[in-house]
Amino acid sequence: MNKPTRTNRKPHRGLTLVELLVSISLITVVSSMFLVAYRQAAAEASNIRTQSTIRKISEVLVSRMQEYENYPINFARGTNNFFANPVPGNATEAMPANNDEFEPKGILLERLRVMLLREIIAQEMPDHYQDIKTSGPVVRNYWTGLVAPGPNPNAGPQPVVVTASESPRAARLKARLAQVNPNWQLQLDQLYQNNSPDFVRAMQTANAEYLYLIVEDSNLNGSPAIEIFGKTEIADTDNDGLLEFIDANRQPICWVRWPTGFPDTIRFHPDLLDPSFNRDGFANYAFSDPLDPRKADPGYRIKQPQTIAYKPSAMAFPLVISSGVDRDGSGGFGFGVKLWHQKGALGDPNNPKYRMLPTSASVTDVLMPVPYDLGGQSPVVMCDPWFPRFPPNDPTARLGAIIDAKLFEDDITNYSINGAYQ
C-alpha cells in the first residue's frame, strides 16, 4: 500500500536534489556571466567617459596649435613685446658666401622665426617644469648668424643677437603657479635631486596641472574652453590647490607637447593638423611641419655629415593620455610613456655640441650645432621638439615613446580615440 507512494517519492526526491544542484550551478554560471558582462559594461562606460574628456582637451590643443600657425612674429620691428632688439635692416650673413655651409639671410631670418615660435609655444604650453623659465623677463638670446655695422665704424660688423622675452600668456601661467605655491619649481627640483620616491608622481601631477592651466587660459569657438568640462572631469588629486583633468579612475590626465617618440606618431598620425601629412610614406621626411613650411630648422640645412640624423621627423601633435588603472611601481600612474628627459641628456654622443644644457631637463634648452657658431663662441641654444634626434636606433629616447608596453596597454590617448592608432 505504501509502495506506490515510495516509488513515487524516490525518484521525486532524487530529481529534486539533482535539480537543486543543477539550479545552483546554473545560477552560479549565469550570475558570473552577468558579473563579467556588468564589469565589462562598467569598464566600457569608464573608457567612454575618459575618451570624452581626452577628446575635448585634444580639441582645445588643436585650436591652440593652429593659432600659432598664424602667430605674428615681426622681428624686423620688434613688435609683440617679444623682442628687446629687432634685427637691423642692413644686417648681412656672418659667413662668407663662398663657404660650403653658407645660408642666405632669408633662411636665417626664417629660422629665427621658427625658433621663436617654438620658444613661445613651449613657454605658453609647458609640459615640463623646466619649460617654465623663472630667470626673468628675458628668456633667451639668439645668435642669428647675421652681422650689422655697430656704433663704432672702426670695429667692423657686430654679431646680431636677438633677445626673446617672456610672453604675457606665459607670465600669467607662471603667476598662477606662484600664487598657489611660490616654491613649486624648487620643490620639484629637490625631489629630482634627492631621487625621491615621490618624484615620478609629483612630475606627472605637475604635468597634468600645466595642462589644466593651459586649457583654462584658452578659448574654443569664442568661449572660455574650460566651460566645456564638467565638475566630474576636474579634481585636485594631490590637494595642492592646482586642478587637474582626471580620467574615470580619478587619475590625472597628462600630456606631451611634442611626443616625437610616440611610436606611431609617424605612421598613424590622426591628421588633425596637416592634410598633406604622410604623402610620401615619410621616405624622405618630406612631411610639412606647419610651423616650418620653408624647412628652416637647422636639421634640414646643416651639411656636416653626422647631422643627417638631426633631420626632424614628423611634426608631433600633442599627445593627451590617461594611464588606465594600473600603476608603474615607482609611485607613478602607469603611463609607460616617456614624459620627460633627465637633466643634461645627451643628444648625440659623437657630437658634444648637440646636447641639452647640463642644468636643464627641458627640450627648450638644446645646444644646436650651427656652422656659424664662431668657433664655438656663439652656440645656438634652441627649443628642439625633436631632441634627441640622435641616436636614431633608440626611439625610446624620445619624448612620448612607449617605454613599457605592459603599462601602456590600458592607456587611452587622443591618438587612439581618433582611430588612427590601433
CA nearest 362: which of 390, 348, 342? 342
Closest approach of Ca ion to the CB of residue 137, in Å: 27
Is residue 371 a contact point for Ca ion (CB under 5 A)? no
CA nearest 381: which of 97, 156, 40, 116? 116
Q: Which is nearer to Ca ion, 332 or 388 (CB)?
A: 332
Secondary structure letter of residue 146 according to DSSP: E
Is residue 326 a contact point for Ca ion (CB under 5 A)? yes
Q: Which stretch binds Ca ion (CB under 5 A): 156-164, 167-175, 240-248, 371-379?
A: 240-248
- Binds Ca ion (CB under 5 A): choice among 91, 321, 366, 407: 407
Is residue 298 a contact point for Ca ion (CB under 5 A)? no
Is residue 145 a contact point for Ca ion (CB under 5 A)? no
Is residue 299 a contact point for Ca ion (CB under 5 A)? no
Q: Which is nearer to Ca ion, 13 or 406 (CB)?
A: 406
| Count of residues interacting with Ca ion (CB under 5 A) | 11
Contacts 24+ apart (CB under 8 A), 27-36: none
Is residue 373 a contact point for Ca ion (CB under 5 A)? no
- Binds Ca ion (CB under 5 A): choice among 259, 332, 334, 388: 334
- Hey, what's the torsion of the CAs at 399, 404, 410, 415, to 10 degrees? 30
CA nearest 255: which of 379, 125, 109? 125
Beta-carbon count within 10 A of 165 CB: 21
Site string for Ca ion, 15-44 (x = CB under 5 A): ------------------------------
Handedness of CA 70, 75, 76, 79 (dihedral sign): positive
- The whole-angstrom separation of Cα 40 and Cα 334 is 21
Is residue 216 a contact point for Ca ion (CB under 5 A)? no
Residue type at position 109: L
Is residue 240 a contact point for Ca ion (CB under 5 A)? yes
Closest approach of Ca ion to the CB of residue 383, in Å: 26
Q: Which is nearer to Ca ion, 314 or 407 (CB)?
A: 407
| 8 A C-beta contact, residue 330 and residue 336 | no
Is residue 324 a contact point for Ca ion (CB under 5 A)? yes
Residue 157 phi/psi, 5° resolution? -65, 140
Secondary structure letter of residue 403 according to DSSP: S
Is residue 410 a contact point for Ca ion (CB under 5 A)? yes
- Binds Ca ion (CB under 5 A): choice among 60, 132, 146, 242: 242
Is residue 238 a contact point for Ca ion (CB under 5 A)? yes
Q: Which is nearer to Ca ion, 242 or 291 (CB)?
A: 242
- The whole-angstrom separation of Cα 216 and Cα 250 is 19
- Binds Ca ion (CB under 5 A): choice among 107, 161, 171, 236: 236
- The whole-angstrom separation of Cα 321 and Cα 51 is 10
Is residue 247 a contact point for Ca ion (CB under 5 A)? no
- Alpha helices per DSSP H over 70-126: 105-124
Please report which helix (H) or strand (E) contains residue 178, including its range: helix 168-180
Q: Which stretch binds Ca ion (CB under 5 A): 41-49, 149-157, 242-250, 304-312?
A: 242-250
Interacting residue ranges for Ca ion, rule: CB under 5 A: 236, 238, 240, 242, 323-324, 326, 334, 407, 410-411
